[in-house]
Amino acid sequence: MPVLLEVCVTSVESAVAAARGGAARVELCSDLLEGGVTSSAGLIAGVRERVRIGLHVLVRPRAGDFCYGTDELAVMEEDLRTVKRLGADGVVVGVLHPDGRIDVERTRRLVELARPMSVTFHRAFDVADDRPRALEEVIATGADRLLTSGGAPSAEAGTLAALVRAAGERLVVMAGGGVRAHNARALVEATGVREVHAGLEEAVDGPMVHRPTLTLGPAEREHRRFLVREETVRAFVNTLSS
């Protein structure tokens, strides 16, 4: 069975590059410096128009923790409806209780609203309390897939193999967190995962030649963009298939 590559993207340009490079799916989000939040309707529509590979959209109303209030959950529900209307294939969600347990009831509500789209429970799992119990709770939400590093800073250092064994056929475990072309094949062989998630954006200079003295953000980022390159994705795909 081939290993599926999902590439995290934040722009139409990066999504197109990922598709041309051979990725099977993209996860679309915005503001990766804050861990990712939901993209605008315009961006979702733009990506859907340009790529035919799988499109999953992060539904996360803000940065920070994953314990959401009533108003935030209402925003997430409306975003789910928008994502569905715009033709995405899936969504990426996750809600925790204040004590670090998976909020099964509220996440299940989001899963049900998302159907018939596919649903991934995101790396909120990696900061949850008691991960063996958390795995069973994620399964109870009805999610199709779990994106995880195995509770470690990187997938290489996590407990992915144990999670794959425990999940069995009940849930797809997708490796994410520091997965790159140089370590992906070994990770797949060691853990048994059949899907990997990679953030492959690289810093590139923007088109602005004017350099104002005033900066509106971190100076080192003011004239730079972060994009996925087609050749980087292709090299990754070739590594997985070799």
- Tokens 């128009």: give the residue: 49
DSSP string, 28-68: E-B-GGGT-BPPPHHHHHHHHHH--SEEEEE--SSSS-S--
- Output the CA angle 67-36-165, nearest 5 degrees: 75
- Per-residue pLDDT for the chain (242 aa), expressed as one digit of tens each? 789 999 999 999 999 999 999 999 999 999 998 899 999 999 999 999 999 999 999 999 999 999 999 999 999 999 999 999 999 999 999 999 999 999 999 999 999 999 999 999 999 999 999 999 999 999 999 999 999 999 999 999 989 999 999 999 999 999 999 999 999 999 999 999 999 999 999 988 888 788 777 777 776 677 788 999 999 999 999 999 87
The pLDDT, as a whole number, for residue 220 is 65
Q: Angle formed by the axes of helices 230-241 and 181-191, to 10°?
A: 30
Q: What is d(CA 4, CA 146) in angstroms, rounded to the nearest whole number? A: 14
CB 164 within 8 A of CB 196: no
The pLDDT, as a whole number, for residue 139 is 98
The pLDDT, as a whole number, for residue 208 is 78
Length of the chain: 242
The pLDDT, as a whole number, for residue 205 is 84
Which domains does the chain show, CATH number per domain? 4-241 (3.20.20.380)
pTM (2 d.p.): 0.94
